[in-house]
Structure 1
């Protein structure tokens, strides 16, 4: 019988696949990062326990083009500053990816809130535009011009927080207790430039980052970087405590009930 590829792999094949994955070369991306101070109450409101706000109500948009060999990828995230058990890092609310391959692994392994979307990074001379879009709405847009080179930072380890969980089969609650994941990234930068510009947030029912308004831009940069990542389970958390927040992960038609107050602005922005 010819080999059936959906059939069980041999131990040797499993080992070979694991070895190949662990020996990947550095993969460099070109990305725009915008950090702004937002409303403290809004930032605190999106953090599931046991995550807590940090000393500054920061929001970060990361918008990148990743040069995967033969498989270019657009990858982005919008995250808020958070702390857990003495560790400060970022809690991503949405992570648009342009390919399913990048989406599935991150969601299933780490609990990353990845969703298919459109990611744009454009540079024409000194002029830069980057955006994250889903459902036809560019809900985050960063616009500006390169205003100078910045010192290349030393390699650094950064932490993202994720909740890994599975909805219950019967549609009520979760299957077991979720876990809080600390995802550690060792980041190297080879080029970094400052951008003078602004951040525009547009109203989207499914990606309501406009609820995290731009009060003051801290920095906007464009750079070339690479990183690896590994995760660890920090603790098990209460399913009941996490349930009010799991809509962050999904495009739920019931979100029509979460619409913005009447008369609210459709977009917000700030200038450096």
Structure 2
């Protein structure tokens, strides 16, 4: 009988797949990172317990093109600064990816809030434009010009916080208690430049990052980096406490009834 590819793999095939995944080469990306201060009460409002706001109400947009051989990937995130006990880090609200493979792996393994979307990183001489878009709306756009080089930072570890869960089969709550994941990324940077520019947030009922207004722009950079990541479950969390925040991860059809924030243009 011919090989049935949906059939069970042998133990040797499973071991070979695990070995290949553990020996990935450095994969470099070119990305634009914008950091700004927003309203403290907004950051507090989007953080599920037990996460708490960090000392500064920061938002970070990361927009990258990843040099996967023969399979380039667009990857982005919008995150707020957060803390879990003494651990400082970032809590991503949305992570657009251009390929389903990157989306499913991150969601199923780490609990990352990934969604299929469009990711743009363009550079023409000194002029740079980067954007995250879904449903035809570029809900984050970073525009500017390179104004000079920056020293490449030393390799460092950075932590993101995720909640991993499975919605219940009957549509009410979860199948089991959710878990809080610390995802530690070891980051190496080989080139970094400063950008003088601005951040534009556009209203989107599905990706409402416009609710995190730019009160003070901290920095915009463009750089080349490589990262590897490891995650660990640090605690089980209250299903009742997390449930009101679950809509962050999905395109909730009820959001069509939501208007833009008062005073927005």
Shorter-chain TM-score bucket reads over 0.9
Match of 1:40 in 2: 40
State the shift of 1:260 in Å.
2.5
Match of 1:170 in 2: 170
1:131 and 2:131 aligned: yes
What are structure 2's unaligned runs of at least 5 residues?
Answer: none
State the shift of 1:257 in Å.
3.2
1:61 and 2:61 aligned: yes
State the shift of 1:169 in Å.
0.3
Match of 1:221 in 2: 221
State the shift of 1:3 in Å.
1.1
State the shift of 1:86 in Å.
0.5
Match of 1:180 in 2: 180
Question: Matched residues in 1 for 2:59 and 2:214: separation?
Answer: 9
Match of 2:158 in 1: 158
Question: Matched residues in 1 for 2:98 and 2:260: separation?
Answer: 27
Question: Matched residues in 2 for 1:3 and 1:126: separation?
Answer: 53
Give aligned pairs, total. Answer: 265
SS in 1 for 2:8: coil
Task: Write out per-residue CA displacement over residues 185-234 of structure 1, whole angstroms, 9 at most, x where no aligned residue.
Answer: 00000000000000000000000000000000100000000000000001
Question: Matched residues in 2 for 1:123 and 1:265: separation?
Answer: 30
Q: TM-score of the superposition, structure 1-length normalised?
A: 0.96
Q: TM-score of the superposition, structure 2-length normalised?
A: 0.99
Question: Matched residues in 2 for 1:167 and 1:264: separation?
Answer: 35
| Two-structure CA RMSD over aligned residues (Å) | 0.8
Match of 1:29 in 2: 29
Task: Write out per-residue CA displacement over residues 58-115 of structure 1, whole angstroms, 9 at most, x where no aligned residue.
Answer: 0000000000000000000000000002000000000000000100000000000000
1:265 and 2:259 aligned: no
1:143 and 2:150 aligned: no
Question: Matched residues in 2 for 1:260 and 1:190: separation?
Answer: 40
Query: Where do residues 68-79 of structure 1 align in structure 2 (5 Å cutoff)?
Result: 68-79=68-79
Match of 1:269 in 2: none
SS in 2 for 1:229: strand
